[in-house]
Amino acid sequence: MARLEGYSALVTGGGKGIGRAVVDRFVAEGARVGVLVRSQSDADTLLAEHGAFVAPIIGDVRNWEDNVKAVQTVVERFGKLDTLIPNAGVYDFSDPFESIDGADMAEKYRQLFDVNVLGYLLAARAGIDALRASEGSIVFTLSSSSFYPGGGGTLYVSSKHALVGTIKQLAFELAPEIRVNAVAPGGTRTGLGGLPGDDRALEEIEGFDAMVAKTVPLGFLSEPEDHAGLYVTLASRADSRFITSEIIRSDGGLEVRGGGRRRKGSK
Ligand SMILES: NC(=O)c1ccc[n+]([C@@H]2O[C@H](COP(=O)([O-])OP(=O)(O)OC[C@H]3O[C@@H](n4cnc5c(N)ncnc54)[C@H](O)[C@@H]3O)[C@@H](O)[C@H]2O)c1
């Protein structure tokens, strides 16, 4: 049985990567999904695949009006908003802190935090009224960098740690009508990009696969689809109505990486 029949959702940065896998899975589970994307080509691809089940909105998560428009579009097209998924993000490719010139720090900080933190705050603020009306929930995309160093640089890791506090405070303030939870993926094969002018993409980094596989106890680099069902569980009132302020880690077991050798027979 479809687990999200009758639900409507909004995913930011849902044109590619983890967000796109969540859109695909939500549609497969019976939901209608608004998707805030950056480009017409992402919008066209979504419409070609999912037709009337999706409503792409072209915009920028750093912009308040675009977030409002995205929420309004979902409510107008699908009647309500049950699940908001702030997900759009950018990466710093683990650039060492000392490689950032002090004079450039404020600019780089703004570029990264404006997407990774402000973008989440604006989406949440724009969604509150509709989510309160539906007694819905927010499911943020966090990261293993919300808990551990080494998977990003100082700017990225700080931004993802900041979101832990965001979730706790919002879960506290918005209860009991709105639940606020998150999924925290570890290394995932996507084209996650950088700040303006940086054309690197995560999946193109040489050795990224092998590096993640070697680091995590479960021994492989995850795919976006590996995380998507967890968003369904946190969105579903049937499956998680007593859960708020929870962060589900989908990171191959970083918590138990330990210092010793893996068990015989592990990959
Ligand atoms: N790939 C990983 O290893 C990994 C691990 C943990 C967490 N994450 C997080 O997952 C989320 C999704 O990233 P992904 O890995 O799927 O990468 P991705 O690049 O495939 O997806 C990110 C999406 O955000 C969009 N985006 C970026 N800036 C935007 C803006 N200003 N306005 C609107 N959209 C914007 C991009 O267009 C893209 O579609 C991010 O928050 C990222 O930090 C990724």
Q: Is the pLDDT of residue 263 over 90?
A: no
Please give, one letter per residue, the 3-state secondary structure of 189-252. CCCCECCCCCCCEHHHCCCHHHHHHHHCCCCCCECCHHHHHHHHHHHCHHHHCCCCCCEEEECC
How remote is the CA of residue 261 from the centroid of ligand 1, in Å?
A: 33
In the chain, domain spans: 8-249
Neighbours of 46 (CB within 10 A): 23
Residue 169 backbone dihedrals phi, psi, to 5 degrees: -65, -40
Q: Does domain 8-249 have CATH number 3.40.50.720?
A: yes
pLDDT in tens, 154-170: 999 999 999 999 999 99
Q: Which of 7, 91, 120, 156 is catalytic?
A: 156
By most ligand atoms within 8 Å of CB, the mutation choice from 57, 91, 147, 190 for ligand 1 is 190
Residue with tokens 């940065």: 13
By most ligand atoms within 8 Å of CB, the mutation choice from 157, 192, 231 for ligand 1 is 192
pLDDT in tens, 167-216: 999 999 999 999 999 999 999 999 999 999 999 999 999 999 999 999 99
Q: Is the pLDDT of residue 11 over 80?
A: yes
Q: How far apart are CA 267 and CA 226, in angstroms?
A: 18
| Secondary structure class of 11 (helix, strand, coil) | strand
Concatenating the DSSP letter of every residue in 152-171 gives S-HHHHHHHHHHHHHHHHHH
Mean pLDDT of the chain: 96
Q: Which residue has the least CA distance to atom 18 on ligand 1?
A: 192
Q: What is the pTM of this model?
A: 0.97
Pocket of ligand 1 (CB under 6 A): 13, 15-19, 36, 38, 60-62, 87-90, 115, 141, 143, 185, 187-188, 190-193, 202
